[in-house]
Structure 1
């Protein structure tokens, strides 16, 4: 299972695809069959994101357990807000708050992910 923990490529690929699928599904027509299919594929990517993130967490949390734990928590919250936006918009309920929380949680998650030792250092 070293392919899950040697690099962050698999994890980054899954969350990038997940965000793209989320945005596609969010801006599709509310009652279209394509949106339903996209949402189901996105749910599969949620699972892949969590599995790849969990393996990285278990492997590398010895560096800084608190920050890795916070990143894991904010990642789960980000996924939760993605799901809330899609489900509530389908039910024709207000989603502005959930969009804002999604943006904040995504920013915090990405900031922590790039800041941690296994992340990418853009300044070096």
Structure 2
């Protein structure tokens, strides 16, 4: 399982695809069959994001357990808000709060991810 933990490429690919699928599904007609299929594929990508993130967490968290733990927590919260936006919009309930929380959690997750030792180093001065 080294391909999951040597680099972050697989993890980044899964969450980028998940974000694109989420945005497409969120702005698609809420009662279309295509949105339902997209939502199911997106749920598969949620699982892939969590598995790849968990593998990276297990492999690398010994260097800075708190930062990796917070990043994992905020990643789960981001996925939760993505799901809440889609489900609540399907039921025609307000989603403004969940969109805002999604944006905040996504920003925090990405900020923490880029700051981690295995992350991309362009935020090294922050």
TM range (shorter): over 0.9
Note if 1:81 corresponds to 2:102.
Answer: no
Deviation at 1:97, TM superposition (A): 0.1
TM-score scaled by structure 2? 0.97
Alignment correspondent of 1:46 = 46
Deviation at 1:123, TM superposition (A): 5.4
TM-score scaled by structure 1? 0.99
Note if 1:109 corresponds to 2:109.
Answer: yes
- Residues 94, 123 of structure 1: alpha-carbon distance in 2 compared, 3 angstrom cutoff: closer
- Residues 74-118 of structure 1: CA distance to partner in whole angstroms, max 9, x if unpaired? 000000000000000000000000000000000000000000000
SS in 1 for 2:118: coil
CA contact (8 A) 2:114 2:121 kept: yes
Q: How many residues align?
A: 124
**Tell me, which stretches of 5 or more residues in structure 1 are unaligned?**
none
Alignment correspondent of 1:55 = 55
Please tell me the root mean square deviation across aligned C-alpha atoms, in Å: 0.8
SS in 1 for 2:110: helix
